[in-house]
Amino acid sequence: MALADQGGQGTGRPAPGPTRRQIYEAEVRRRSNLIAAGSTLTVLILLIVLIPMAPGWEGVKKSFFNAEVFARTFPGLLEAFLLDVAIFAWSAPLIFILGLLIALCRDVRKPALYPLRLFGILYTDIFRGIPVILVIYLVGFGVPGLGLPRPWNSPYIWGTVALVLTYAAYVAEVFRTGIESIHQSQRSAAASLGLSSSDTMRFVILPQAIRRVVPANMNLFIALQKDVALLSFIGPVEIFRQAGVYKSLLANFTPYVGAALIFLAITIPATRYADYLLAKQSKARS
Amino acid sequence: MKLVTATAILSFAASGASAQNQCAAGKTIDDGVLTVATGNPAYYPWVMDDAPESKQGFEAAVAYAVAERMGFADDQVTWVRSSFDQAIQPGAKDFDFNLQQYSITPERDEIVDFSAPYYSAAMAVLTRQVIVDLGAEANIDALRSLKWGADANTTAVPMLAEVIAPESDPLLYGDNADVVEAMKAGQIDAALFDLPTALYLSAVVLDDGVILGQFPAERSESPDQFGMLLEEGNPLKECIDAAIAEMTADGSLAAIEAEWLSETTGVPVIQ
């Protein structure tokens, strides 16, 4: 990889223009960009050339990257994805509220209210410790099995409950770290101003704590967006199940690739946004 | 590769243990042994007690009968387990043929090979006594208003849409056990299965299971026929097809069916 050296060094310029140091740094930047682009391109070309040379490539291509199957199933997948979006949309606020309540339980400091605190600890221990899919099975089939009448036994309701129970445990832990990150002196200051402990929490601690953990919560909600697909195990025909039906009928895994692309189209921008928020926050702190 | 196979055949023939007929010799993944795959677990009445080695159950019996026609003695048949996804994934297979009620469809046939059909399956409606008490009847109009479920991996899904066209979207599940669980939880009223599976579920798994009726195999435009699944281009296919053709012609396949799937007669037909 030949890189032409176009060094701009040694051309002393008057003060208003870029300094020699700036020119040098710009050159270094330009050069590392070129090298990065070059090596990325090389890796890509190697991948594109080498993978099809594998003996099983034709089979893999037919089973996973089948254009005909893709075109045939993609519209159906997109339609099924709307159900994922809907489930996410109604779960997320519930998770936020329940997570906050559990976090508050864990922060209770009055001795008489210790049972609340114990509940908070047990709750997060249990629901963070059980795989989501097991909670979905147990709640999604178990509770309706008690004999609830329709529509109260709907897998949509109980599947949502399972997701909310699990994710609230994670979100509660995130809120707790946020609450604990607010220095004790702020509570003391609030107390000296005559605020009750609940007012201190409401007007002093929480507004700062919630803002501080927004990026961490964003990550959890991205994970939630993907885990919504687990509801398919108890009946709802969302994108993962729809892809499974296509897979079974066509004996082809391409619909899964299509589903993955649809997920990526949502989660990559969301991840980037979370990264951006994190970067902004760390800049503000430093 | 060819050399290896050739030497293997030679050494095998020299050992004198060969019993395979002309057709099957040297075409199995392990020489002198026929590797057959079934589900994990394998269900009644296809395989009894999840033990295919016992030759008990319709598919176990068919597998041993086909093996015998191809010249494999009982002790030359070994069993492995596989899921549907493992069966259709690209790449080398770890079985010679795989039988677990795979319906033959033209789309599937593009990715894998199927033997000639060894069973024509009628589809049956499984429901519970409480639903029947509420007035469910074995006619299409009554069935349409029920809340339906099915195993997402089966041809019951397109069949449901084609033949019954339910008023509300069906709920789909990963396996039979989940469909039954949803039925117990009252989340679905009825589910569509192949008839022998439906009979098993109603008799053994569901306490108050009822078979409302069956759609005869010939009803849909493309009847549901079970075939043995083979790797695309497997040369063993012609040997298996020949064995199945023989068994169909001399009535031994029908005899096996009568032995294991006799209960399927007498289920009312849905008009």
Cα A126 to Cα A236: distance, rounded to the nearest angstrom: 26
Residue A184 and residue A177: Cα distance in Å, rounded? 13
A129 & A192 share domain: yes
Tens of pLDDT, residue by residue over B130-139, are 888 888 888 8
Whether the per-residue pLDDT at B91 is higher than 90: the answer is no
Is a pLDDT exceeding 60 seen at residue B164? yes
Residue B270 has pLDDT above 80, yes or no: no
In this predicted structure, what is the pLDDT of residue B17? 43
Q: Verify that A96 and A153 share a domain, yes or no.
A: yes
Q: Is B233 on the interface with A (CB under 8 A)?
A: no
Tell me how close the Cα of A104 comes to any Cα of chain B, in angstroms.
35
CB A259 within 8 A of CB A243: yes
Q: How confident is the model at residue A28 (pLDDT cuts 50, 70, 90)?
A: very high
Q: What is the CATH number of the domain that holds A137?
A: 1.10.3720.10
**A21, A123: one domain:** no
Residue A57 falls inside a structural domain = no
Residue B216 has pLDDT above 90, yes or no: no
| Pick from A169, A168, A132, A139: nearest CA to A156 | A139
Q: Does residue B196 come out as left (phi exceeding 0), alpha (psi in the -120 to 50 range) or beta? A: alpha
Nearest-by-Cβ selection for B90 from A59, A234, A248: A59
Q: Where on the phi/psi map is residue A245: left (φ > 0), alpha (ψ -120 to 50), or beta?
A: alpha
Domain parsing of chain B, residue ranges: 2-120+224-262, 123-215
Residue A5 lies in a domain: no
Residues A162 and A245 in one domain: yes
pLDDT tops 80 at residue B34:
yes
Residues A23, A91, single domain; the answer is no
In a domain, A4, yes or no: no
* A22-36, A123-137, B135-149: least confident range: B135-149
Taking CB atoms and an 8 Å cutoff, what residues of chain B touch A56? 90-91
Same domain, A35 and A81: no
Backbone torsion region of residue B89, taken as left when φ is above 0, otherwise alpha when ψ lies between -120 and 50, otherwise beta: beta
Token pair listed for B22: 């002309």
Task: Please give, rounded to a whole number of angstroms, the shortest distance from the CA of B230 to a CA of chain A.
Answer: 13
Whether B157 and A250 lie within 8 Å, measured CB to CB: no
**A55 in contact with B, Cβ within 8 Å:** no
Task: Look up the domain containing A166 and give its range.
Answer: 70-285
Q: What is the layout of strands, in order, in the sheet containing B97-98?
A: B77-81, B34-38, B97-98, B229-230, B113-114
The domain made up of B2-120+224-262 has a fold known as D-Maltodextrin-Binding Protein; domain 2 (3.40.190)
Please give the residue of chain A at the shortest CA–CA distance from B189: A150
**Which residue in A73, A247, A248, A254 has the most chain B C-beta atoms within 10 A of its own C-beta, making it the best mutation to test that interface?**
A248
Residue A260 lies in a domain: yes
A174 with A250, same domain: the answer is yes
Q: Do B187 and A250 touch (CB under 8 A)?
A: no
Q: Please give the single-letter amino acid code of residue B187.
A: Q
Over range B186-191, report the average pLDDT.
Answer: 92
Pairwise CB contact (< 8 Å): A148 & B107: no
Task: Please check whether the domain covering B123-215 is classified as CATH 3.40.190.10.
Answer: yes
The Cα of B209 is separated from the nearest Cα of chain A by a number of Å equal to 16
Evaluate if residue B50 carries a pLDDT over 80.
yes
Residue A229 contacts B, CB cutoff 8 Å: no
Q: In which band, very low, low, confident or very high, does the pLDDT at A15 lie, cut at 50, 70 and 90?
A: low
- For residues B89-94, give the mean pLDDT: 84
* Residues 6+ away with beta carbon under 8 Å from B211: B124, B125, B126, B195, B198, B199, B202, B267
* pTM of this structure: 0.79
Residue-level pLDDT at A99: 96
The three-state secondary structure class of B210 is strand
Tell me the percentage of chain B whose pLDDT exceeds 70.
89
Is pLDDT at A201 greater than 70 in this prediction? yes
Q: What pLDDT does A128 receive? A: 93
Query: A27 with A137, same domain?
Result: no
My answer on whether A41 and A103 are in the same domain is: no
User: Which of A12-16, A58-62, B42-46 has the lowest average pLDDT?
Assistant: A12-16
How far apart are the C-alpha atoms of A174 and B149, rounded to whole Å?
39
Strand-pair category, B171-173 with B209-215: unpaired
Distance, in Å, from the CA atom of B124 to the CA atom of A7, rounded to the nearest integer, reads 80
The mean predicted confidence, pLDDT, of chain A is: 90
Instruction: Give the number of domains in chain A.
Output: 2
The mean per-residue pLDDT over the stretch A92-119 comes to: 93
Q: Are residues A105 and A17 in the same domain?
A: no
State whether residue B160 sits within 8 Å of chain A by CB.
Answer: no
Do A74 and A42 have their domain in common? no
The residue behind tokens 């029908």 is B254
Q: Enter the tokens of residue B236.
A: 């063993």
